[in-house]
Amino acid sequence: MATTTSDIQDEIDAHGHGAHDDHHHGPAKGLMRWVKTTNHKDIGTLYLWFAFTMLLVGGAMAMVIRAELFQPGLQFVEPQFFNQMTTLHGLIMVFGAIMPAFVGLANWQIPLMIGAKDMALPRMNNWSFWILPFAGSMLLSTLFMEGGGPAFGWTFYAPLSTTFAPASTDFFIFAVHMLGFSSIMGAINVIATIMNMRAPDMKLMDMPLFVWTWLITAFLLIAAMPVLAGAVTMMLTDRNFGTSFFDAAGGGDPVMFQHIFWFFGHPEVYIMILPAFGIVSQIIPTFARKPLFGYSSMVYATASIALLSFVVWAHHMFLTGMPIAGQMYFMYATIMISVPTGVKVFNWVTTMWRGSLTFETPMKWAVAFVILFTIGGFSGLMLGVAPVDIQYHDTYFVVAHFHYVLVSGALFSIIAAVFYWLPKWCGRMYNEKLATIHFWWAIISVNILFFPQHFLGLAGMPRRIPDYSTQFADFNMISSIGGFAFGASFLLLTYIIVTAIRSGEKIEEDRVWESAKGLEWTVATPAPYHTFDEPPKKAQILSESSHIGEH
């Protein structure tokens, strides 16, 4: 397809809207605006609302889980339904809430931060989003099917997900295929946008860290999601077409499923945390009123984490019967990840060091992220040590670990990002007082919820069980109380965000936070429907760079 410049010009002329007369109209009206939109800001908004809805659905399932675990014995639900809840809670939070929320932030922010008019492939962008509601609905619909929804855990190990799975599993497989398809298209779009649509004067090392972390995340998605698609495709053919990829009776290997799954699953963990690192690296310099410490080391640390994430997958499988040399390799490789991660944490702390700190809501969440994510990182290190993992494996210690990383890590960074950029998006300020109350409410309750789960795990309570022995009763009750409080905090969050959008105090300044750096703060507030008709110039790019002090 050799398209020349003049062909494109002919096409523009033939449609009667040259590059200059379609810039300043606003969005279309009504529902079709959202169905047909190719505008990165609209699609970002759609992603974020979809993610928030899924967060509430997955959160409701968490409430069921914590209600059942409030006391030993079976209180509210059947064990099979409990397993469906843990499975769908995990799948919906990972694929429906955290990942789409980051893609939504990427859609809104990446073009604004690199001085691009829009994403590189706007129609594919629309398609990437609109697959999601169908995939999510299909996944949730399995709950109403005969035999119930998937109940094999979010990791869907064979043969639980093949030989012994309910009929609805085929719908689960289709839903995962669609979610993966959406993610891959989103990642292609992010890479194409950053590589081709950047302001011509912006070098890669001029890019804000949120853009850098998303670029690296997009490469992780491209390499990891097809492996997930391969895994579920093999499940599909094992279930329906007589293959035996994972069936030992037919010459296959169920442990191979775990290798394939975790070859996707471990990079997936970093897909959910690298953009969070980017967000925190944007917020902390703003409220410390200092350039980000160690910009280039942040970039290289992110890339190192991404590369290492592909060579550590079997630390999830120390108990499958691995040669000792394999265990040692995966243990040391895993521990190595703490080096670039430590670089990041030190850089954030050093950015704050002797800064003129203020603690507006985004900064509160960013600081909470640094502290609580580090706790999750340390418990991850503990789990990565092969000999002690024999004790920790499949216990509540694992549950505590990944909730510290994903809730007080990934989710908190998303909340921080929304409070940070929402005033720019809609030109209105949230209620700082309510947001502060919400922050402390959530921070205290999330720790009451997840910290005791470390103790439960160390004492030997297995994960994914609806009932437990009585010695675990006290900590489970404390954890459930924290869980209900944390769940309720999202009602307040909903109120804060909705009132901010509808009736928050209007903002006039382009630069909402006075010491914020970045091209997104040079456009009007609220951000106009179309931005950067003319790409920003070199001087502006450099003066908006948060790491300018480093050069």
**Which among 34-42, 248-256, 319-327, 426-434 is the span making contact with another protein, rule CB under 8 A?**
248-256
- Which one among 105, 234, 314, 418 touches another protein, defined by CB under 8 A? 234
* Sequence-separated (6 or more) residues with CB below 8 Å from residue 29: none
231 token code pair: 């895994």
Rounded to whole angstroms, the Cα distance separating 363 from 398 reads: 28
Q: Does 271 bind another protein (CB under 8 A)?
A: no
Q: Does 137 bind another protein (CB under 8 A)?
A: no
Residue 344 catalytic?
yes
Tell the smallest beta-carbon distance from residue 210 to another protein (Å). Answer: 20
Rounded to whole angstroms, the Cα distance separating 319 from 392 reads: 11
Tell the smallest beta-carbon distance from residue 219 to another protein (Å). Answer: 8
What's 483-536 look like in SS3? HHHHHHHHHHHHHHHHHHHHHCEECCCCCCCCCCCCHHHHCCCCCCCCCCCCCC
Tell the smallest beta-carbon distance from residue 15 to another protein (Å). Answer: 14
DSSP state of 537: P
- Which one among 15, 16, 20, 249 touches another protein, defined by CB under 8 A? 20
Residue 495 catalytic?
no
Residue 66 catalytic?
no
Interface mask (CB under 8 A) for another protein, residues 173-192, using x and -?
-----------x--xxx-xx
Residue 21 catalytic?
no
Which positions from 250 through 269 interact with another protein, judged by CB under 8 A?
Answer: 250-252, 256, 260
Q: Does 205 bind another protein (CB under 8 A)?
A: no
Q: Which of 545, 550, 445, 425 is nearest to 497 (CA)?
A: 425
Q: Which of 323, 507, 283 is nearest to 417 (CA)?
A: 283
Q: Of 40, 66, 198, 315, which is the active-site residue?
A: 315
Tell the smallest beta-carbon distance from residue 263 to another protein (Å). Answer: 8
Rounded to whole angstroms, the Cα distance separating 308 from 266 reads: 10
Nearer to another protein, 133 or 230 (CB): 230
Q: Does 491 bind another protein (CB under 8 A)?
A: no
Tell the smallest beta-carbon distance from residue 123 to another protein (Å). Answer: 12
Rounded to whole angstroms, the Cα distance separating 482 from 259 reads: 35
Which positions from 115 through 134 interact with another protein, judged by CB under 8 A?
Answer: 120-121, 124
Rounded to whole angstroms, the Cα distance separating 95 from 135 reads: 10
Q: Does 204 bind another protein (CB under 8 A)?
A: no
Rounded to whole angstroms, the Cα distance separating 228 from 96 reads: 16
Q: Of 266, 401, 424, 438, which is the active-site residue?
A: 266
- 242 sits in the region (left: phi over 0; alpha: psi -120 to 50; else beta) called left
Q: Does 12 bind another protein (CB under 8 A)?
A: yes
Q: Token match 């106009």: residue?
A: 528
Q: Which of 350, 416, 415, 338 is nearest to 379 (CA)?
A: 338
Tally the residues of the chain.
551
Tell the smallest beta-carbon distance from residue 196 to another protein (Å). Answer: 4
Nearer to another protein, 1 or 324 (CB): 1
Distances (CA, A) of 522 to 15, 509, 518: 32, 10, 7
**Which among 149-157, 162-170, 193-201, 293-301 is the span making contact with another protein, rule CB under 8 A?**
193-201
Q: Does 481 bind another protein (CB under 8 A)?
A: no
Q: Does 236 bind another protein (CB under 8 A)?
A: no
**Which among 90-98, 231-239, 342-350, 469-477 is the span making contact with another protein, rule CB under 8 A?**
231-239
Q: Of 47, 108, 212, 270, which is the active-site residue?
A: 270
Tell the smallest beta-carbon distance from residue 329 to another protein (Å). Answer: 20
Tell the smallest beta-carbon distance from residue 339 to another protein (Å). Answer: 27
For the chain, the straight-line distance linking the first and the last C-alpha, in angstroms and rounded, comes to 43
Rounded to whole angstroms, the Cα distance separating 233 from 239 reads: 10
Nearer to another protein, 314 or 461 (CB): 314
Tell the smallest beta-carbon distance from residue 183 to another protein (Å). Answer: 10
Rounded to whole angstroms, the Cα distance separating 391 from 407 reads: 24
Rounded to whole angstroms, the Cα distance separating 487 from 159 reads: 34
- Which residues are registered as beta bridge partners of 462? 395
203 token code pair: 């070098």
Q: Does 155 bind another protein (CB under 8 A)?
A: no
User: Between the CA atoms of 375, 379, 381 and 382, what dihedral angle is there, to the nearest 10 degrees?
Assistant: 150
Residue 89 catalytic?
yes
Q: Which of 214, 219, 216 is nearest to 109 (CA)?
A: 214
Nearer to another protein, 5 or 356 (CB): 5
Residues contributing to the site for another protein (CB under 8 A) = 3, 5, 8-9, 12, 19-20, 120-121, 124, 184, 187-189, 191-193, 195-197, 200, 222-223, 225-227, 229-231, 233-234, 243-245, 250-252, 256, 260
Give me the active site residues, please.
Answer: 89, 118, 154, 182-183, 266, 268, 270, 281, 315-316, 341, 344, 463
